[in-house]
A and B are shown apart, each in its own frame.
Chain A
Amino acid sequence: MSLFWITAILLIGVLIPLLTERLGRTVNTIFTMLAPAIALAYIISLMPAVFAGEVVTEYLEWIPSIGLTLSMRLDGLALMFALLILGIGLLIILYARYYLSEKEAVGRFFSYLILFMTAMLSIVLSNNVLQMWMAWEVTSISSFLLISFWSSKSESRKGARMALTVTGAGGLALLAGLLLVSDIVGSYELSVILASGDLIREHALYPVALILILLGAFTKSAQFPFHFWLPHAMAAPTPVSAYLHSATMVKAGIFLLARMYPVLSGTEMWFLIVSMTGLITLLLGAYIALFKHDLKGLLAYSTISHLGLITLLLGLDTKLAAVAALFHIMNHAIFKASLFMAAGIIDHESGTRDMRKLGGLWHFMPYTATLAMVAAASMAGVPLLNGFLSKEMFLAETLHSSALGFISWMIPVLATLAAIFAVAYSLRFIHDVFFNGEPKDLVKTPHEPPRYMKVPIEILVALCLLIGIFPNFMIGGLLEAAASSVLMSELPYYSLSIWHGFNLPLLMSVIAIGGGLLVYAYRRHLYRFQAQFKESDEKLIFEGAIQRLVASATSAHDGLNNGSLQRYIAALLLLTIAITAIPLINLDTAATHSPDQAVSGVEITAAIILCLSAIATVIFHRKRMVALITISVVGLIVSIAFARFSAPDLALTQLSVEVVTVILLMLALYFLPQKTPSESSPARVVRDVGIAAALGGLVATINYAFITQPLDSISEFFLANSKTGGGGTNAVNVILVDFRGLDTLGEILVLGIAALGIFNLLARVRLAMPSANEHGLAWSKDRHPPILAIISQSLLPLALLVSFYIFLRGHNMPGGGFIAGLITAVALIQQYIAHGVDWVKPRLKVDYQILIALGILIATLTGIGSWFFDRPFMTTWFDYFDIPLIGEIELASALIFDLGVYLTVIGATLLILASLGKLTSSHRPTSEE
């Protein structure tokens, strides 16, 4: 068997209760206990090895390349926690069987409980900090599910939410801290981290990592000032409170402190923060506990106080303090779990937990009362019980502390004060509940619980006594193993005996018990004093804070996101200006520029036309038809510019795209308003001109900056290999169909998708058909002038021939699939314009969607074809053939690829325009004809 089986079995155990729920509560309980019992048996079987000093580690490679390994570790500390988790867990399951009523979803409850158990065990058994953190978060989530188990109650939901928020936020801090530590060490493995204490403590980031990890630990362990969530978590069913919120989950924070003790402790910062937090929590919890009328409230604050005590011990600068801390973890878990269970029984059998109503229960349930009294005495630190032993060790250690320098004497004094309150509230728990008069206004008559409900308490109380009387025999070995894995060095001398002679700690214990009796006797005065303070409800404060946060987030969101696209674009552009302008300011203007080339009059003229028509487009943009004409002039000049600057392919492409675009926009304009009303406020115009001018200036500057630099291009390769490797002399085309063929494939795919998208957008569109222009002038009835029809019809074969020629020569001369496709498309669109859709449709029986698919298929298959020759995807092949009469010609597989491009371009262009054009005829009102 392996340690991984423990978590695996428990994970299976999560499902068991759900499956066996229908078999009845008792059978369900037995099956539920199966998985934890097996895990516990296995852990116990490993005890001798761990006691012998062995650290059981196991690894399971997951993603080794990035250092992610599932890894488990069982050392003394993990063993102690595992025993507590599984042992108390089993008792809790038994207890819950009687606590929950028949009507409740017991299966779900058990399932959550086992889930929590799995997570908690994974924390303590983890040898990888990320893995540990994951489990840590799962405990927060399962705790949330368990607190809100009675989800119909508002306080359950609120308490659960609060617990999740606080521990979840702490969990995030913990993650950051653990990542920092792992970064310092260079490994996520706990065994590596534990061995690099000095490295971490001397690192500059140590304080940050320490505080982050402590935040995680303190939120989980309900340390001041994060303690407020724990009392509200008491809205959970009592088995949950007993298990998660006193015995185990809240100890996860303590576990973390103990786990990281060898690495993080030993510095001034650690001692100061940890001991002070612990001390404040200890005092505050003990004091408030006295005033809680709710039994579980008292126990909750007592738990906070004891968690503070353990934290304080871990923050004291003696080795023995750490041993005492571990000892108290065990003792507290044992007596507090039994007290919670007793409180649950009282609640269950009498219907209330309010100590003002309870009283004199001794007469109704003497047996339970005895058990509860023993446990409460242990909590108070009465001799012969386990609580006494660890508390005395604690008091002794506070005497040796020098964490506060010259005022360190305050620590034992304050510790004694806390102990006085602890005695007082324990006394209150016993006296107010079991004696002190008669119960008032109870809904039912209290009685003893079912036999087996008491078994878990009996076992725990027996442990209290046994550990209290025979400490060395009971837990000596376990404590030693745990302590050595925390201290990772020679253990200090300590003796686990009841009697250490008359010494100062004993005196402090006596003072505590005497003082506690006095405080309890005069509690009325304290209550009156405390009643002067306004009681604040953390729940309201917390919910208020959350609501304020949500409100401010909502208003911030609404302020930014008001639905105005113009605003978003403006914001985006301003950001662009900011991030491009700043580097330009820092740019060295003296960088070498090559001189400008000479400018001829033609170029100046073209530039002036370009700029004027661009500006005219802006000026006349509200008269849409005019804007369309001026922008087509711009497009024309751009294609001339391409031709001028030695890019014939681009010029041809731009020209044909220009034609298609203008036709498209004209078609669209038919359906859209012909004019844009003037609606921008002057301020808006100024703003937009400012943004546009700044961006235009920046773009021009950047453009100038790089085109005047010497050219250092990777294109030498393409030029050198175009003929020999790609078989073509037109390097541009060879790049498109060969070197970067995959890019081209992607691009025709995009083209096809865009066309299909448009087809679908137009499929069910209902557009108003304008019957006249904006001046009320009806459209011409002569829709297809015969001259245009005849000319375009006779031009068609010529255009197709040209496009075919351009397609074929593309590999060696300007041309290729893109250009040829566009020319063909333009020629066909001309037929649509001249004759109308109804005329073309029966004559050109081509489904453009299929054409697009065919084109992409051909291109892809050409690429795949090279696989059959054991070549990578898209390897081209070419050869030269001598054909009689025609002469030598070159055949290249790239030509087939280009055919795919050609077909896709035709299909896409025609699909777009024909779909749009069809609207003009199919929906046209008949009255107009």
Chain B
Amino acid sequence: METLYVICVGVLTFCGVFLCLRGRTFSVVVGLTMLSYAVNLFLFSSGRLNLKDAAILGMSDSYADPLPQALTLTAIVIGFAMIAFVVILAMRARADLGNDFVDGREAPDSDKFIKPNKDKI
């Protein structure tokens, strides 16, 4: 179980990091979302993987660790706020700069390929 869990976290990290390294804002936003899944799962697992008992007193004899859960809960909400902010920033950047490159200009290795279609959509 643990092995499976960490593989999932690893795959999510891999995908998130790869997407964060793309040159367009939307990919980076998706990457950040993915990365925040990975981080939340990572943090959450510091309470170990407990299959049976939620941290509700009186429902069972042993309980899952409530602290990582509480921290992860707020992390999820804050993560949402952060992603929302980045998305809006990306939109604002596109509105002000006319393209959606993360650098606010043409990507260094973009000229070999397709010129960005500015505001044609």
Contact = CB atoms under 8 A, between A and B. Distances in A.
Interface of A: 562-566, 569-570, 573, 596-599, 603-604, 607, 610-611, 614-615, 617-618, 621-622, 624, 627-628, 631, 634-635, 638, 641-642, 644-650, 653-654, 657, 660-661, 664-665, 668-669, 671-674, 676-681, 684, 688-689, 691-693, 695-697, 699-701, 703-704, 706-708, 711, 713-715, 718-719, 722-723, 729-733, 735-736, 740, 743-744, 747, 750-751, 754-755, 757-758, 761-762, 765-768, 770, 774, 812-814, 818, 822, 905, 908-909, 912, 916
A647 B69 contact: yes
Interface in B37-80: 37-38, 40-42, 44-59, 63-67, 69-70, 72-74, 76-80
Interface of B: 1-27, 29-30, 33-34, 37-38, 40-42, 44-59, 63-67, 69-70, 72-74, 76-85, 87-92, 94-95, 100, 102-103, 105, 107-110, 112-114, 116-117, 119, 121
Contacts of A624: 26, 30
Given A691-B17, A699-B9, A723-B57, A676 B27 contact: yes
A566 B23 contact: yes
Contacts of B95: 671, 765-768
Contact of B37 (A611, A635, A723): A635
A563 B103 contact: yes
A679 B45 contact: no
B36 to A, nearest CB: 10
B81 A754 contact: yes
Nearest to B62: A719
A676 B81 contact: no
A653 B5 contact: no
A676 B72 CA distance: 32
B83 A611 contact: no
B44 A650 contact: yes
B5 to A, nearest CB: 7
Given A611-B11, A676-B27, A684 B109 contact: yes
A501 to B, nearest CB: 85
B16 to A, nearest CB: 8
What is the interface of chain A mostly: helix, strand, loop, or mixed? helix
Contacts of A641: 8, 41
Given A707-B5, A908-B81, A718 B67 contact: yes
Given A678-B113, A700-B9, A761-B92, A631 B45 contact: no
B30 to A, nearest CB: 6
A750 B54 CA distance: 28
Nearest to B38: A699
Given A597-B51, A703-B42, A618 B18 contact: yes
A735 B22 contact: no
B56 A729 contact: yes
B19 A765 contact: no
B83 A661 contact: yes
A573, A680, A681 pick with most chain B CB within 10 angstroms? A680
Contacts of A603: 1, 4
B78 A751 contact: yes
Contacts, number: 329
B103 A565 contact: yes
A698 to B, nearest CB: 8
B88 A750 contact: no
B22 A676 contact: yes
Nearest to A599: B1
Contacts of A703: 5-6, 9-10, 42, 45
Query: Quick one: which of B20, B52, B112 has the most chain A CB within 10 A?
Result: B20
A287 B66 CA distance: 82
B2 to A, nearest CB: 5
A760 to B, nearest CB: 10
Given A674-B121, A692-B17, A604 B4 contact: yes
Given A704-B2, A758-B88, A634 B37 contact: yes
B121 A770 contact: yes
Contact of A814 (B22, B54, B92): B54
B4 A599 contact: yes
Contact of A711 (B5, B18, B48, B94): B48
Contacts of A615: 11, 15
Given A647-B64, A676-B24, A729 B57 contact: yes
A648 B79 CA distance: 19
B67 A647 contact: no
A714 B38 CA distance: 24
Q: What are the 7 tightest A-B residue pairs by CB atom distance, in nearest-first order?
A: A700-B10, A696-B14, A731-B66, A754-B81, A692-B17, A692-B18, A735-B70
Contacts of A730: 55-57
A18 B64 CA distance: 73
Contact of B73 (A628, A649, A729): A649
Contacts of A701: 6
Given A646-B55, A718-B67, A614 B84 contact: no
B74 A647 contact: no
Contact of B52 (A646, A664, A678, A680): A646
B14 A692 contact: yes
Nearest to A733: B70
A826 to B, nearest CB: 12
A732 B37 contact: no
A750 B109 CA distance: 37
A631 B34 CA distance: 7
A613 B77 CA distance: 23
25 contacts: A563-B105, A565-B102, A598-B1, A607-B4, A610-B8, A611-B11, A627-B27, A654-B40, A665-B30, A668-B26, A676-B26, A676-B27, A677-B116, A703-B42, A704-B6, A711-B48, A732-B70, A743-B74, A751-B78, A755-B84, A757-B85, A765-B92, A767-B95, A813-B56, A818-B74
A924 B94 CA distance: 17
Given A660-B80, A688-B18, A713-B65, A596 B1 contact: yes
Given A618-B18, A672-B91, A732-B73, A648 B54 contact: yes
Contacts of B107: 564, 566, 679
A294 B57 CA distance: 93
B14 A761 contact: no
A699 B13 contact: yes
Contacts of B74: 736, 743-744, 747, 818
A732 B100 CA distance: 40
Contacts of A617: 15, 19, 30, 34
Given A614-B11, A614-B12, A646 B53 contact: yes
B90 to A, nearest CB: 7
A598 B113 CA distance: 49
Contact of A715 (B20, B41, B67): B67
B54 A646 contact: yes
A735 B66 contact: yes
Contacts of A614: 11-12, 15, 34
Nearest to A693: B14
B77 A751 contact: yes
B25 A672 contact: yes
Contacts of B82: 754
Contacts of B119: 768
Given A615-B11, A618-B15, A704-B6, A679 B1 contact: no
Contacts of B17: 573, 688, 691-692, 695-696
B6 A700 contact: yes
A774 B121 contact: yes
B66 to A, nearest CB: 4
Given A597-B2, A711-B48, A770-B121, A657 B80 contact: yes
Contact of A646 (B64, B70, B78): B64
Nearest to A611: B11
A672 B100 contact: yes
Contact of B15 (A596, A644, A681, A692): A692
A672 B53 contact: no
Contacts of A722: 57, 66
A641 B37 CA distance: 11
A428 B70 CA distance: 87
B91 A765 contact: yes
